[in-house]
């Protein structure tokens, strides 16, 4: 598993570490209207999956805004932001911040995504910061587990990976 710290303290990640070349694991999360969303719902598209501990924190806010801005430059790409924030909080945050190009999804109910992608922080019941790119054939083509959960991901590398995915 990836070695992750949260505020410089080591944490335990639960689930399965995902690697480039893997078939993307399926998951079930909740949209802002409480409907279920799975990986299969965006089948045939490239998916940029941005994982954040909580959308109401500075780095998570910046990460979601950055990928919201980048999403306007992509064709046939679905940009998903996953956290354990409640769907109601995600909806409120998106509305207050004009976020329209990213779909925020809640893994609060059963940590399906967190376990499938190895980002469930056992000690905090949060998700570790990570970015995954999944191509239209459901193959993982890019993975970044951010080693310090309070740091930013490599935005440029993620955007390049989306451009290279088909």
DSSP state of 39: G
Question: Tokens 């999804």 identify what position?
Answer: 105
Specify the DSSP element, H or E, that contains 93. Answer: helix 87-97
Catalytic, 60? Answer yes
Question: Tokens 């409640």 identify what position?
Answer: 86
Q: Are 118 and 15 in contact (CB under 8 A)?
A: yes
Residue 31's nearest CA partner among 96, 78, 86, 79 is: 86
Q: Are 62 and 151 in contact (CB under 8 A)?
A: no
Count of CB atoms situated within 10 Å of the CB of 84: 22
Q: Per the residue annotation, which of 24, 60, 105, 143 is the catalytic one?
A: 60
**At a CB cut-off of 8 Å and minimum separation 6, what does 87 contact?**
30, 31, 32, 33, 34, 106, 108
Catalytic residues, which ones? Answer: 60
């Amino acid at each position: 598993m990836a070695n992750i710290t949260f505020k410089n303290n080591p944490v335990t990640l639960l689930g399965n570490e995902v690697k480039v070349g893997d078939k993307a694991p399926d998951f079930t999360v909740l949209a802002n209207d409480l409907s279920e969303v799975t990986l299969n719902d965006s089948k045939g598209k490239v998916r940029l999956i941005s994982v954040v501990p909580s959308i109401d924190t500075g780095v998570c806010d910046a990460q979601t805004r950055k990928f919201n801005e980048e999403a306007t430059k992509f064709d046939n790409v679905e940009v998903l932001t996953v956290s354990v924030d409640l769907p109601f909080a995600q909806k409120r945050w998106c509305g207050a911040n004009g976020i329209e190009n990213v779909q925020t999804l809640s893994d609060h109910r059963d940590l399906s995504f967190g376990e499938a992608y190895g980002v469930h922080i056992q000690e905090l019941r949060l998700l570790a910061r990570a970015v995954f790119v999944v191509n239209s054939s459901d193959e993982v083509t890019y993975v970044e587990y951010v080693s310090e959960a309070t740091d930013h991901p490599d935005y440029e590398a993620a955007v390049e990976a989306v451009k290279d995915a088909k």
